[in-house]
């Protein structure tokens, strides 16, 4: 059983055993992907054109455009529902990790400041190790809480360089 919440309001329970049901009602539907990448859907005798605008695997949300209307659908799989019932709903979400030195080296340049919001893939620090410059990038969206090192200082393997929140 999957739970889907549309636009943060409407909740649906979807089951697919031998037939597809939504909130206990059997749904008669079919869908095909058309050459443009969109989908042509026929459901309960009605035709719809759908386009997938965005898929966010981390938050388990899908943004769809159906007949020119945009919908954000949040999906809860059985494991999400089980964790929520046990009171550990956020156990599957990614934790923001501090940036640590993977090897001894010399900090050449710090590219961020405390309080700065960074996004996944943003460069945050340049470390010279084994005569090579290594650019450290943010693994996820975060805010720089503290910078633990100064430029032109040596660091050891495992040392925390930047604290994120």
Percent of the chain with pLDDT over 90: 56
Under the banding of pLDDT at 50, 70 and 90, the label for residue 89 is low
Instruction: Say which residue, 94 or 14, is predicted with more confidence.
Output: 14
Of the candidates 67, 63, 47, the one whose C-alpha atom is nearest the C-alpha of residue 55 is: 63
Q: What dotted CATH number matches 99-164?
A: 2.40.50.100
- CATH number for 2-92: choose from 3.40.50.970, 3.30.700.30, 1.10.1760.20, 3.60.150.10: 3.30.700.30
Dihedral angle sign, alpha carbons of residues 129, 135, 141, 146: positive
pTM score: 0.52
- Residue 133 parent element (H or E): strand 132-137
Q: What is the pLDDT of residues 2-13, one digit of tens each?
A: 999 999 898 999
Residue 104 DSSP class: -
Q: What is the pLDDT of residues 97-156, one digit of tens each?
A: 788 988 899 999 999 999 999 988 899 999 998 888 989 988 888 899 999 999 999 999
């Amino acid at each position: 059983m999957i739970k889907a919440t549309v636009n943060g309001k409407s909740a649906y329970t979807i089951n697919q055993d031998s037939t597809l049901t939504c909130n206990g009602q059997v749904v008669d539907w079919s869908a095909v992907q058309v050459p443009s990448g969109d989908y042509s859907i026929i459901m309960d005798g009605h035709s719809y054109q759908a386009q997938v605008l965005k898929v966010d695997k981390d938050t388990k949300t899908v943004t769809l455009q159906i007949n020119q209307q945009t919908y954000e659908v949040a999906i809860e799989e059985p494991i999400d529902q089980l964790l929520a019932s046990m009171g550990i709903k956020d156990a599957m979400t990614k934790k923001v990790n501090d940036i640590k030195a993977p090897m001894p080296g010399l900090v050449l340049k710090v590219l961020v400041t405390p309080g700065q919001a960074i996004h996944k893939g943003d460069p945050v620090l340049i470390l010279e190790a084994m005569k090579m410059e290594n650019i450290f990038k943010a693994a996820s969206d975060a805010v720089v809480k503290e910078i633990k090192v100064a430029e032109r200082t040596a660091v050891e393997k495992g040392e925390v360089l930047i604290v994120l929140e």
